[in-house]
Amino acid sequence: GQQLNQSPQSMFIQEGEDVSMNCTSSSIFNTWLWYKQDPGEGPVLLIALYKAGELTSNGRLTAQFGITRKDSFLNISASIPSDVGIYFCAGSYLSSNTGKLIFGQGTTLQVKP
Amino acid sequence: DADVTQTPRNRITKTGKRIMLECSQTKGHDRMYWYRQDPGLGLRLIYYSFDVKDINKGEISDGYSVSRQAQAKFSLSLESAIPNQTALYFCATSDFGTGKGEQYFGPGTRLTVT
């Protein structure tokens, strides 16, 4: 079946540093979504991407839909302590009409003040 | 008020017991999903429903059943709980009409089976 590989698995960075993480798929997608999960809470949608090559920002977050449609990237600039959490990528091939998402394993981010 | 709510938020139960987790949404979405989260494994789909009359198995449906009582309500049951069903369970919704596939999650239920 379809698989998503998300890397890195975890990151421990200094406040103020930039962060990059990515997801790669064995199949092409036409939707990429990025979520953040705080401890004890459900995932919250950060950015949605619908077109190959698309670059979208949400504050200090920027995500890109890879040209091959098999990958996506999330960057966080000037990290702050509240960026701590688990970041998930998710992909979907909507024309299958199932609406099902495939999730990456998550990147755990820790920020040292 | 939260758009997607789950009850209970925490539950401890014994092996062999039947347990039901409930999900309600006020977003007016037609599609609802149940996921399980285990450390290092991300989110895995248990069941999904496109409307009240449509129920579909996900990748890990064995040992689980669901009921879509109304468009706004989707419950997950463990008929006979076992310890390896200890996990975080999330309900999610999406709106087919937007054609965008975005899913919105509830706060989760932490289930422990002893």
| A58, β-bridge pairs | A61
Interface check for A1 against chain B (CB to CB < 8 A): the answer is yes
Report whether pLDDT(B32) > 90.
Answer: yes
What is the side-by-side order of every strand in the sheet holding A19-25? Answer: A4-7, A19-25, A71-76, A61-65, A55-58
Q: Which residue of A has its CA nearest to B58?
A: A100
The single-letter DSSP state of residue B103 is: -
B78, two tokens: 């463990």
> How many CB atoms lie under 10 A from the CB of residue B25?
21
Mutation for A interface: B27, B29, B102, B104, most A CBs within 10 A: B102
Q: What is the mean pLDDT of residues B93-103?
A: 84
Please choose, from the candidates B108, B96, B32, B17, the residue with its C-alpha nearest in 3D space to the C-alpha of residue B69. Answer: B32
- The per-residue pLDDT for range B56-66, each reduced to its tens digit, is 999 899 999 99
- Residue A49's alpha-carbon distances to A15, A20, A30, A74, B26, in angstroms, are 27, 17, 8, 11, 25
The reported pLDDT for the residue numbered A97 is 57
Instruction: Tell me whether residue B100 is exposed, middle or buried, using C-beta atoms within 10 angstroms of its C-beta: 0 to 12, 13 to 18, 19 or more.
Output: middle
CB B85 within 8 A of CB B101: no
- B100:A50 CB<8 A: yes
Our CA-based measurement puts residue B39 at a distance from the nearest CA of chain A, in whole angstroms, of 9
Return the pLDDT at B12.
97
**Cα dihedral: B97, B75, A34, B99 (round 10):** -10
pLDDT at B10: 97
pLDDT at A98 over 70: no
A46: closest CA of chain B, how far (Å): 11
Answer whether residue B41 shows pLDDT above 90: no
Do the Cβ atoms of A43 and B43 come within 8 Å? Answer: yes
**pLDDT band per the 50, 70, 90 thresholds, residue B101:** confident
SS (H, E, C) A68-85: CCCEEEEEECCCCHHHCE
Closest chain A residue to the Cα of B110, Cα to Cα: A40
Determine the pLDDT at residue A76.
98
Segment B6-23 shows an average pLDDT of 97
Query: In chain A, which residue's Cα lies nearest the Cα of B106?
Result: A42
Q: How many CB pairs under 8 A join A and B?
A: 62
B45 contacts A31? CB cut-off 8 A:
no
pLDDT tens profile A41-86: 999 999 999 999 999 999 999 999 999 999 999 999 999 999 999 9
| Average pLDDT of every residue of chain A | 92
Q: State the average pLDDT for chain B.
A: 93
Closest partner CB to A100 (pick from B45, B102, B106): B45
Comparing CA positions, the residue from A7, A12, A10, A15 lying closest to residue A77 is A15
Cβ contact, residue pair A42, B4, below 8 Å: yes
